[in-house]
Amino acid sequence: MSTLQLVLAQINLLVGDIPGNTDQVVEVARRAHREHDADLVLFPELTLCGYPPEDLLLRASMQKRIDAALATLKEAQLPCAVLIGYPRVVAGTVLNMAGLIQDGELVAEYAKQKLPNYQVFDEWRYFVPGEQACVVNIKGIPTAITICEDIWHPEPVAQAERAGAKLMLNINASPFHRGKAQQRQALLGRQAQAGNMPIVYVNSIGGQDELVFDGGSFAVDADGTLRARAPEFVESLLPVTVTADDNGVRLAPGNDAKPLEDLASVYQALVLGVRDYVNKNGFKGVVLGLSGGIDSALTLAVAVDALGPDRVEAVMMPFRYTSDLSKNDAADQARRLGIHYRVISIEGIFDAAMQALAGEFAGTERDTTEENIQARSRGMLLMAISNKKGFMVLTTGNKSEMAVGYATLYGDMVGGYNALKDVPKILVYELSRYRNSVSEVIPETVITREPSAELAPDQVDSDSLPPYEVLDEILRLYIDLDHSAADIIGMGFDEATVMRVVRLVDRNEYKRRQSAVGVRISERGFGRDRRYPITNGWEAGQ
């Protein structure tokens, strides 16, 4: 009987930091051998440059840096073999490559065959596909190497089986969206059965701009049975023991980190996305406007869970329309979370702006212009604090608002990052209740009161928008599922409401294009997923 000790290195990489990522491979490989007696350590897709490197792949120096990193790994006298990902230029074209380094030599390479070009992926811009299976003998076990998208298609698995593989290794940089973990496990179970071989799947973790990689690395036996699983959203080493004898190749039962429930996984994605964006970009911390409303309340909870209270500052910026309830709720939440909290009125700023604009506004009626000046006064204060203290502004708008333009450019939209950018309003409430089930950090009145921007007397969101239960479902059908207005009306929604909503969505692309980057949690976020022209003549009803 032959035994192969694998370790799945679920690690957090920094895009572009090739020396730092290489050092991490060396350190983790040594630790995996020391702690788990690893024969082979599996690392994520494009380990050395991080994923997605985007147009860094077009830099002439990329290959020189990758070659230097590979040389470092070959000279590092690693105590075990490592399987790593990197880009490789071959005959003037770039391949998404996986390489097996053993005893100081690059003994095998595999080029990714299935290049995703949908949703957030555009690998056809950079890579050409490989064509050949790669099956290498590792401690007597014929082992196929594949990369991420390969496992979502039948051909690479069938090709590896025909080449004699009895075990498959799959390295990934697979970003999170709701339900993705369940999709992966079901898929690998089917593919393992189809190829009649165990499949071992390692995934990256960490935030990269709008993407969050959730980890959840795992291994399934040839019959699709789950044998080991790593935790989600944290770095970890997952040992997987492979045995081979005359009866075939099998995986021994190992650690099984139970998957998170839906709301818990979404919340952890938000936390990790904020933490890595702030830390990887070198900010001291974050500052945000705390209004006493639900969106800023949830954003504050996420920020504190991501960074700790000492790196979070919140500012209540009241105006004559701000209710005492909002002021009290904001102060209460700040106290519960132990953050740095300030109150700065915008009355004087607003009055000075109105005085300066008196001539321009003469003879006009009061309208949303004055409301926008309130929002921009707050934005100015937050950006001034950011500039002076080196704290990034965390903006707080949700997906429902961003979809229909219910936000002010250069006002409440100012900021470097938005935790809630892909979170619909109803989900904001669900996540707030989830967070309070862990510990009650959001005052109950924030969750139960009717939402309001408080930019005018007695203003509530429903003055300008349909009920969020209706709005969010229309937005899901129109944005996430690409249904036409006519289709949505045919499902029983009020025609006037549908037409108004889809026109707002189409008309406000210019705002979304100028909005802060934010965490993606759905299969159709505003960002890499959805690329619509600002200037166009498309009819909303089509």
- 148 is an active site residue: yes
Annotated catalytic residue: which of 45, 161, 401, 454?
45
Give the list of residues 6+ apart from residue 176 with CB closer than 8 angstroms, or none.
211, 212, 213, 214, 265, 269, 520, 521
Give the list of residues 6+ apart from residue 415 with CB closer than 8 angstroms, or none.
288, 382, 392, 393, 394, 395, 516
Taking the C-alpha atoms of residue 85 and residue 393, their distance in angstroms, rounded to an integer, is 35
- 327 is an active site residue: no
* Encoded tokens for 530: 């959805």
Place of tokens 């790669």: 134
Helical H runs in 239-293? 262-280
Helical H runs in 281-314? 294-307
Taking the C-alpha atoms of residue 111 and residue 174, their distance in angstroms, rounded to an integer, is 17
Do the beta carbons of residue 208 and residue 15 sit within 8 Å? yes
**How many alpha carbons fall within 13 Å on the CB side of residue 320?**
9
| Amino acid letter for position 487 | D
Do the beta carbons of residue 236 and residue 16 sit within 8 Å? no
Taking the C-alpha atoms of residue 535 and residue 502, their distance in angstroms, rounded to an integer, is 16
Place of tokens 């973790």: 205
Taking the C-alpha atoms of residue 213 and residue 44, their distance in angstroms, rounded to an integer, is 11
Taking the C-alpha atoms of residue 502 and residue 230, their distance in angstroms, rounded to an integer, is 42
Annotated catalytic residue: which of 49, 80, 134, 148?
148
* Encoded tokens for 333: 């939440």
Taking the C-alpha atoms of residue 390 and residue 188, their distance in angstroms, rounded to an integer, is 45
Annotated catalytic residue: which of 112, 166, 180, 425?
112
Residue 253: Cβ-neighbour burial (10 angstroms; 0-12, 13-18, 19+): exposed
The catalytic residue positions are 45, 112, 148
